[in-house]
């Protein structure tokens, strides 16, 4: 029995357009009868795969390295896990269920490897990256310290900027861009929760693109909100990027990334570069993520409900100056307009400014018991961190302050515990100030 047969299209394929993702995600892209009846896909812990004939091996490499003019199959023949693996391919198929408007997915060893590989796939020396700020600290470092050394110009613009501001920023960076340009949005922004209008950014790109030979791509890092509550491809994004470590993994036990988009961009560009750089996750990581997808909606729904309660409580807490949570935005606020237009829900990330400064923030964080002092997000466990000295500490201090990331800021990733217990733990910590 050939391994290729283990990843056949199932009857759920016909139901895909009629059925919600959570109803078919646990079976999509996999037939148990082709794997000894195993309900869950086995873990293919093999680095290499056996060819039946030399001719089959020749064809496999021609397909893998695009050395043939024949049409490329949905699944390339199995060769080597750096190129493809059954667990990873099943995972990639299932992730497309949650991203309407995308055709293919590539999974990675981390969110940062997903971002870096994608940019290096599409933008070369002489090209540029225009990005919303703030972004995650690792992304900021890539943009400001690594890409410029490769001859790629990078320039930020403030998250939440109006459409005309995006057009102006595009015109400005394109004056010195000889190659492709990639516009990178992190929305909501980490850690300020600021929303940037994806559809308006798409319109700005299309206007500027008119008559220009070199492409302008739009990539959206959707990590902070997660795959249930925002669908960037439907709003015009060419690529949707995730740190799959976060909501997709959701249990703080795996590090991975994912990029989704058209077949042309993923198969012809992103996956080719991934193969050479070797930025693929392990089969076991693929297994862990497949496990997590079964409960993605349940986890994210529970976390969302909890976050709404926590944000509303924090807004009334005397020790809190202000709360950054899209769900608390008043009617008529420009950010509220974007929220209602492009988001299904406001998510489960809550940032707030504590009264005082670093001393008060640290005292509060050190007093937490149920809530864990740790970076990352999207876990079933509620996590708290201090962005200015942790996740965003490598951003230039002046720029960090200009973006609103100061010593008063605390970021919460709300988990699945009972919201009353989360609030009780926060209240205890405030009482110790």
- What DSSP string describes 46-57? -SB---SSHHHH
- The whole-angstrom separation of Cα 315 and Cα 80 is 53
Distance of CA 238 to the CA centre of its chain: 14
DSSP annotation of 156? E
DSSP annotation of 327? G
R_g over Cα of the chain: 22
Per-residue pLDDT of 172-216, as tens digits, reads 999 989 999 999 999 999 999 999 999 999 999 999 998 889 999
- pLDDT for 69: 72
Per-residue pLDDT of 366-425, as tens digits, reads 999 999 999 999 999 999 999 999 999 999 999 999 999 999 999 999 999 999 999 999
- HEC sequence for 235-301: HCCCEEEEECHHHHHCCCCCCCEEEEECHHHHHHHHHHHHHHHCCCCCHHHHHHHHHHHCCHHHHHH
Alpha-helical (H) ranges within 65-133 are 86-96, 111-122
Strand (E) or helix (H) holding 352:
strand 349-354
Please, are residues 332 and 402 in contact by the beta-carbon 8 Å criterion?
no
CATH architecture of 296-431: Alpha-Beta Complex (3.90)
- pLDDT for 7: 45
pLDDT-flagged residues of the chain (< 70):
1-15, 17, 70-75
- pLDDT for 66: 80
Query: 290 — phi, psi (to 5°)?
Result: -60, -40
Q: Is residue 237 reached through a cis peptide bond, with omega within 30 degrees of 0 on the bond before it?
A: no
- pLDDT for 13: 63
Tokens of 326: 């899209």
With a CB cutoff of 8 Å and minimum separation 6, the contacts of 266 are 103, 104, 105, 106, 259, 260
Please, are residues 66 and 272 in contact by the beta-carbon 8 Å criterion?
yes
- pLDDT for 18: 72
Q: Which CATH class is domain 86-293?
A: alpha beta
Burial of 234 per CB tally in 10 Å (0-12, 13-18, 19+): middle
- The whole-angstrom separation of Cα 136 and Cα 189 is 8
- pLDDT for 12: 60
N- to C-terminal Cα distance for the chain? 65
Buried b (16+ CB within 10 A) or exposed e, 357-393: eeebbbebbebbebbeeeebbbbebbbbbbbbeebbe
Buried b (16+ CB within 10 A) or exposed e, 103-127: bbbbbbbbbbbbbbbbbbbbbeeeb
Ranges for all domains in the chain classified under CATH 3.40.640.10: 86-293
Ranges for all domains in the chain classified under CATH 3.90.1150.10: 296-431
- pLDDT for 3: 44
- pLDDT for 131: 98
**Torsion sign over Cα 324, 330, 335, 338:** positive
Burial of 402 per CB tally in 10 Å (0-12, 13-18, 19+): middle
Buried b (16+ CB within 10 A) or exposed e, 55-71: eeeebbebbbeeeeeee
């Amino acid at each position: 029995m050939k391994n290729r047969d283990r990843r056949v299209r199932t009857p759920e394929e016909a139901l895909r357009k009629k059925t919600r993702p959570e109803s078919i995600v646990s079976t999509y892209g996999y037939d148990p009868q082709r794997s000894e009846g195993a309900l869950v896909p086995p873990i293919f812990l093999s680095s290499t795969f056996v060819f039946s004939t030399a001719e089959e091996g020749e064809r496999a490499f021609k397909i893998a390295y695009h050395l043939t003019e024949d049409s490329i199959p949905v699944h390339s023949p199995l060769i080597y896990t750096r190129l493809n693996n059954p667990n990873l391919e099943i995972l990639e198929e299932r992730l497309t269920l949650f991203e309407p408007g995308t055709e293919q997915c590539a999974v990675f060893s981390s969110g940062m490897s997903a971002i870096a590989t994608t940019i290096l796939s599409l933008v070369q020396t002489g090209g540029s990256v225009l990005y919303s700020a703030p972004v995650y600290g690792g992304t900021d470092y890539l943009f400001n310290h690594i890409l410029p050394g490769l001859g790629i110009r990078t320039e930020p613009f403030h998250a939440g900027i109006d459409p005309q501001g995006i057009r102006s920023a595009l015109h400005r960076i394109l004056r010195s861009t000889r190659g492709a340009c990639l516009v990178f949005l992190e929305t909501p922004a980490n850690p300020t929760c600021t929303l940037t209008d994806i559809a308006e950014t798409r319109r700005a790109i299309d206007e500027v693109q008119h008559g220009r030979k070199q492409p302008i791509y739009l990539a959206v890092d959707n990590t902070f909100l997660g795959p249930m509550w925002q669908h960037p491809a439907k709003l015009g994004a060419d690529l949707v990027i995730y740190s799959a470590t976060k909501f997709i993994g959701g249990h703080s036990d795996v590090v991975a990334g994912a990029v989704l988009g058209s077949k042309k961009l993923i198969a012809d560009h992103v996956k080719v570069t991934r193969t050479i750089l070797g930025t693929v996750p392990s089969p076991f990581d693929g297994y862990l993520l497949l496990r997590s997808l079964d409960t993605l909606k349940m986890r994210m729904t529970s976390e969302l409900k909890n976050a709404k309660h926590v944000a509303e409580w924090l807004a009334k807490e005397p020790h809190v100056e202000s709360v950054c949570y899209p769900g608390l935005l008043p009617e008529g606020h420009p950010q509220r307009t974007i929220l209602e237009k492009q988001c299904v829900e406001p998510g489960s990330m809550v940032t707030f400014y504590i009264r005082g400064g670093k001393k008060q923030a640290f005292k509060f964080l050190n007093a937490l018991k149920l809530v864990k002092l740790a970076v990352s997000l999207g876990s079933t466990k509620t996590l708290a961190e201090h962005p200015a000295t942790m996740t965003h500490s490598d951003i230039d201090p002046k720029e960090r302050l200009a973006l609103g990331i100061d010593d008063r800021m605390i970021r919460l990733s709300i988990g699945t515990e009972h919201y009353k217990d989360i609030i009780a733990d926060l209240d205890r910590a405030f009482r110790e100030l």
